C-alpha cells in the first residue's frame, strides 16, 4: 500500500470515529435535555401496539440508535417492567426512528455544518441554563456528524475509483445476497446501522466512470441496506445473554423482524427500486442517490412495520415457541431490576435502581413484621426468617450501591440526576439499617424465649403499639420512594414526630410500673432496647423521606435560580 492509500484509509477510519462520537454526543445531549420526560413518555405510549411503535420511533430518535433502544427494552422486559408484546411494538418503531439521521444526511442539512458547530459550541459554553447547555451540546454534535461526513466523502472519492470497488458492486448487482452479507458485516463492525448508512450514502454519491451514474447504484445499494438492519440486531442478542426467557424472546423478535423483512423484500428489488425512484427527486443518479438510499431505508422499515403490526400476537407466539420458558427460579438475593446494559442511559438506570431499592424495602418491611411476631408471640420461625431476610437485604444493598456507583461513573449524568443517585445510595444504607434493627430485636426475642421472660400485658401492648407505628411508617416510606411525593414525605416526618412522643410516653409509663412494682426491673434493659430499636427503624424511614424532600427541593431551587439568572 502506498502512502496515499494509507492516508485514504486513515481519513476514512478517523472520520468514522468522529461520526460515531458525534452520534453518541448528540444522544447524550438529547437525553439530558429530555430528562425524566423520556421515562414517563415511554410508560404512557406502550398501552397498545400502535402507540408502542410511536414510542419506539421517538425513543430511537433521541437515543440515535435502534440498538440502544432495543437493549433498553430488553432490560425492562428482563426486570418485569414491560411485557413481550409491548417490547415488540417498541422495537418495530425503533427501526423506523433510527432512519432519521440518514434522511438528514440525504437532505444535505450538513452543508452548513460549521454554523451548527459554532452555534452549538457557543450555547454549550456560554449558556447558563442547564437545559440550553444540553441543547447546545446536541447542536454541536449534529454539526460534528456532518463535518465527519464531509471528511469521509473526500476519502470515498479515492475508494470509488478503485477497480475492486467497481467489481464488488457489479457482483452485488448479480448476486444481491452478497450485498446482504456485506451490509450485515458493516453494521457488525461499526456497531451501528446509522454509521453504515452514512458510509453507504457517501460512497454512492461518487460518480461512476460514465460521468452520470453512481458508483453503486440503487439496485446494489438495496440489499446492503437490508443487511445493515440485520447486523444491528447483534447488540440486542449480546444484551439478552444470561437474561430471562422473555428478554431473549425480545432479541429474537428483533432478529425475525429484520430477517423476514429482508427475505420478503429481496423478491421485489426491481419493483422496490421503481417505487423509491418514483417517490424520490429526479436527476442524475449520483446527485439523487443519497435521497434514494435514505428513502429506501425508511420505507423498508415503515412497510415492514405495517406488515408486522397486525401480527404482533403471532410474532410473540412464534418467539415463545422458538425460545421455551426454561428460566431457573431467581434467587431472592439476586437483583431483579439492575441492568448494566443501560447504565449509559441514566433516566432509565435510575428508574431500575429505584425499583430494586423498593424490592429491598419490601424485604425490610417483612423483617419488621417477623421481628414483631418473634418478640410478641415468641415465634421461633419468625426469628429465623429475620436472619434469612437480613442476608437478602445485605446482598441487595451491596449490588444496588455498585450499580448506583456505576451510574456515577458515566459522563451522561445531569446535576439533578447526580443528586438523585447520591440520595439513592444513602437510602440503600437506611433500608439496610432498618434490617439491622430488626436483627437486634430478633436477638432479644431469642433471649426472651430462652430465659422464659414474661413481660406484663401493659408492656406487651406498648411494644405492640410501637411496632404498629413502625409498620405504618415503613409502608409510607415505600410509597414516598416510589411516588416521590413531597406531601407523603412530609406526612412521614409527622409520623416520626408521633413516634418520638410515643417513645417518651412509653418510657415514662414503664418507670411508673417499676415504682408500682407491676413490672420486673430485670426486663427494663430489654424493654428500653426494643423500643429504641423500633424508634431507629422509624428514624431510617425519616431519613429516606428527607432524602426525597431534599431532591425535590434541589430541583425546585435549581429551576428558581436559573429563572432568576435569566431575569437579570
% of the chain residues with pLDDT over 70 = 87
Q: In the prediction, which pLDDT does 566 show?
A: 43
| Grid-cell match 446482598, residue found | 395
Among the ranges given (140-144, 316-320, 360-364, 400-404), the one the predictor scored with the smallest mean pLDDT: 140-144
**pTM: predicted TM-score of the whole model, two decimal places:** 0.74
Q: Would you list the domain boundaries of the chain?
A: 3-322, 340-567
232 or 549, which is more confident: 549
**What's the average model confidence in pLDDT over 333-345?**
84
Supply the angle between the helices 457-483 and 486-516 in degrees, to the nearest 10.
170
Whether the predicted pLDDT of 299 surpasses 90: yes
Q: In the prediction, which pLDDT does 209 show?
A: 67
> How buried is residue 429: exposed, middle or buried, by Cβ count under 10 Å (0-12/13-18/19+)?
middle
- Cell (9 digits) for 231: 447486523
- Cell (9 digits) for 36: 425524566
Helix (H, G, I), strand (E, B) or coil at 207: strand
Residue 304's pLDDT band (boundaries 50, 70, 90)?
very high
Helix (H, G, I), strand (E, B) or coil at 278: helix
Q: Is 208 left (phi over 0), alpha (psi -120 to 50) or beta?
A: beta
Rounded distance between C-alpha atoms, residue 285 and residue 215, angstroms: 9
Listed ranges 130-139, 191-200, 250-259, 320-329; the one with the highest mean pLDDT? 250-259
Residue 489 contacts residue 548 (beta carbons within 8 Å): yes
Q: In the prediction, which pLDDT does 564 show?
A: 35
Whether the predicted pLDDT of 99 surpasses 80: yes
| Grid-cell match 425460545, residue found | 323
Rounded distance between C-alpha atoms, residue 479 and residue 284, angstroms: 64
Residues in a beta bridge with 207: 214
- Cell (9 digits) for 216: 453503486
Q: In the prediction, which pLDDT does 46 show?
A: 59
Q: In the prediction, which pLDDT does 563 show?
A: 43
205 or 384, which is more confident: 384
Whether the predicted pLDDT of 392 surpasses 90: yes
Q: Please give the CATH topology (third level) of the domain spanning 340-567.
A: Methane Monooxygenase Hydroxylase; Chain G, domain 1 (1.20.58)
Residue 429's pLDDT band (boundaries 50, 70, 90)?
very high
**What's the average model confidence in pLDDT over 17-39?**
72
Rounded distance between C-alpha atoms, residue 554 and residue 560, angstroms: 10
Whether the predicted pLDDT of 61 surpasses 50: yes
Tens of pLDDT, residue by residue over 469-490, are 999 999 999 999 988 889 999 9
Rounded distance between C-alpha atoms, residue 34 and residue 456, angstroms: 60
* Greatest C-alpha distance within the chain: 112
DSSP string, 301-335: HHHHHHHHGGGHHHHHHHHHHHS---PPPPPTTS-
Mean residue pLDDT of the chain comes to: 83
> How buried is residue 372: exposed, middle or buried, by Cβ count under 10 Å (0-12/13-18/19+)?
buried
- Cell (9 digits) for 244: 430471562
**What's the average model confidence in pLDDT over 524-540?**
89
Whether the predicted pLDDT of 194 surpasses 50: yes
Residue 291 contacts residue 281 (beta carbons within 8 Å): yes
What is residue 521's DSSP assignment?
Answer: G
The CA-based angle 86-87-92, given to 5 degrees, is 100
Helix (H, G, I), strand (E, B) or coil at 214: strand
List all residues 6 or more positions away from 540 whose beta carbon is below 8 Å from its beta carbon.
430, 431, 433, 434, 437
Q: In the prediction, which pLDDT does 188 show?
A: 81
- Cell (9 digits) for 221: 445499494
**What's the average model confidence in pLDDT over 54-81?**
77
Amino acid at each position: 500500500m502506498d502512502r496515499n492509500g494509507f492516508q485514504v484509509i486513515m481519513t476514512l477510519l478517523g472520520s468514522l470515529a468522529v461520526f460515531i462520537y458525534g452520534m453518541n454526543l448528540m444522544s447524550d445531549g438529547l437525553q439530558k435535555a429530555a430528562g425524566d420526560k423520556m421515562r414517563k413518555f415511554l410508560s404512557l405510549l406502550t398501552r397498545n401496539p400502535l402507540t408502542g411503535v410511536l414510542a419506539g420511533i421517538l425513543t430511537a430518535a433521541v437515543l440515535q440508535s435502534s440498538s440502544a433502544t432495543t437493549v433498553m427494552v430488553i432490560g425492562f422486559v428482563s426486570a418485569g417492567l414491560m411485557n413481550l408484546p409491548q417490547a415488540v411494538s417498541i422495537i418495530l418503531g425503533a427501526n423506523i426512528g433510527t432512519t432519521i439521521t440518514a434522511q438528514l444526511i440525504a437532505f444535505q442539512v450538513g452543508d452548513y455544518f460549521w454554523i451548527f458547530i459554532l452555534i452549538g459550541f457557543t450555547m454549550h459554553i456560554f449558556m447558563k441554563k442547564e437545559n440550553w447547555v444540553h441543547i447546545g451540546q446536541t447542536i454541536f454534535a449534529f454539526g460534528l456528524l456532518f463535518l465527519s461526513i464531509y471528511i469521509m466523502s473526500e476519502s470515498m472519492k479515492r475508494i470509488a475509483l478503485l477497480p475492486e470497488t467497481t467489481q464488488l458492486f457489479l457482483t452485488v448487482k448479480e448476486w444481491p445476497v452478497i450485498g446482504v452479507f456485506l451490509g450485515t458485516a458493516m453494521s457488525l463492525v461499526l456497531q451501528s446501522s446509522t454509521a453504515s448508512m452514512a458510509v453507504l450514502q457517501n460512497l454512492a454519491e461518487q460518480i461512476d466512470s460514465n460521468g452520470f451514474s453512481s458508483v453503486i447504484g440503487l439496485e446494489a445499494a438495496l440489499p446492503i441496506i437490508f443487511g445493515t438492519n440485520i447486523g444491528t440486531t447483534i447488540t440486542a442478542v449480546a444484551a439478552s445473554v444470561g437474561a430471562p426467557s422473555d428478554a431473549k424472546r425480545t432479541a429474537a423478535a428483533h432478529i425475525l423482524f429484520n430477517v423476514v423483512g429482508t427475505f420478503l423484500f429481496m423478491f421485489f428489488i426491481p419493483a422496490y427500486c421503481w417505487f423509491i425512484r418514483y417517490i424520490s427527486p429526479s436527476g442524475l443518479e449520483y446527485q439523487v442517490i443519497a435521497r434514494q438510499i435514505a428513502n429506501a431505508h425508511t420505507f423498508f422499515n415503515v412497510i415492514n412495520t405495517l406488515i408486522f403490526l397486525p401480527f404482533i400476537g403471532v410474532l410473540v407466539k412464534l418467539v415463545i415457541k422458538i425460545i421455551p420458558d426454561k428460566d431457573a427460579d431467581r434467587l431472592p438475593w439476586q437483583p431483579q431490576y439492575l441492568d448494566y446494559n443501560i447504565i449509559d442511559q441514566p433516566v432509565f438506570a435510575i428508574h431500575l435502581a429505584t425499583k430494586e431499592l423498593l424490592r429491598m424495602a419490601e424485604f425490610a418491611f417483612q423483617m419488621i413484621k417477623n421481628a414483631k411476631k418473634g418478640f410478641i408471640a415468641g415465634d421461633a420461625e419468625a426469628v429465623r426468617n429475620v436472619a434469612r431476610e437480613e442476608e437478602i437485604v445485605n446482598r441487595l444493598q451491596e449490588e444496588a450501591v455498585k450499580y448506583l456507583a456505576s451510574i456515577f461513573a458515566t459522563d451522561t449524568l445531569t446535576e439533578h440526576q447526580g443528586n438523585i443517585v447520591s440520595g439513592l445510595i444513602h437510602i440503600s444504607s437506611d433500608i439496610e439499617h432498618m434490617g439491622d434493627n430488626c436483627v437486634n430485636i430478633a436477638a432479644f426475642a431469642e433471649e426472651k424465649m430462652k430465659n422464659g421472660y414474661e413481660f406484663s400485658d401493659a408492656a406487651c401492648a406498648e411494644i405492640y403499639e410501637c411496632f404498629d407505628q413502625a409498620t405504618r411508617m415503613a409502608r409510607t416510606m415505600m410509597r414516598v420512594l416510589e411516588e416521590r411525593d413531597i406531601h407523603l414525605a412530609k406526612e412521614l416526618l409527622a409520623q416520626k414526630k408521633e413516634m418520638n412522643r410515643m417513645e417518651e410516653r412509653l418510657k415514662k409509663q414503664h418507670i411508673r410500673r417499676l415504682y408500682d412494682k407491676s413490672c420486673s426491673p430485670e426486663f427494663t434493659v430489654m424493654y428500653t432496647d426494643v423500643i429504641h430499636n423500633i424508634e431507629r427503624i422509624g428514624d431510617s424511614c425519616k431519613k429516606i423521606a428527607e432524602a426525597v424532600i431534599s431532591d425535590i427541593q434541589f430541583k425546585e431551587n435549581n429551576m428558581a435560580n436559573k429563572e432568576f439568572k435569566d431575569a437579570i
